[in-house]
Amino acid sequence: MAKPPKAVPEIVQAAETLESELVRLETLARAAQKHRLDSEKNITRAAKELSDALALPERMAAGLRSLGLAMQQMEARQQAALEPLALFANEIQARMQKLAEHMQSFAALGQAAAEATALLQAGGERTALLEGAKAQLNRIADDARALFEAARADDFPEVAREADTLKQRLLALTRKLEGASPPN
């Protein structure tokens, strides 16, 4: 099945018409210079061609106006196409900023978890050390849960998944520490 011919855009039609008129004017101008005005027949033919040539600038002016109108319509189409892109660019920027906030929160959780781990590895009184580490790990797990919920609400599933994984690891570590606590 053959495709129907593609419609020629208005701006192309206007430009082609204008080009055609300009070529005709140039042709008449070159021909006028070659006419010998030595007989009534030649003079009459030259006068007719001159009359035709003098009508062309008016038709070309109309063609230029058509081309200008077509260009305005093309500019309007361009603007109509750019407006949604500008809105999309703003949306991308807002989403990037929100993602950066979540990633910054996640990095802070990682830093806090590293500090809690370092606290466990430091020396000192074991019972106080374990209780302080458990409390710190529980706070970090709560913050990870809050980040999970915020990321899920903002439709960032990867950040939510990572925050949930961190929360699960922290809770597992807290349970291990509770099992390691010396009896009172």
Q: Which amino acid is residue 99, in one-letter code?
A: L
Give pTM, 2 decimals. 0.63
First to last CA, the chain: 88
Over the chain (184 residues), the average pLDDT of each successive run of 10 is 79 89 88 85 88 88 90 94 96 97 95 86 73 88 96 96 94 83 52
Within 8 A by CB and 6+ apart from 103, the residues are: 159
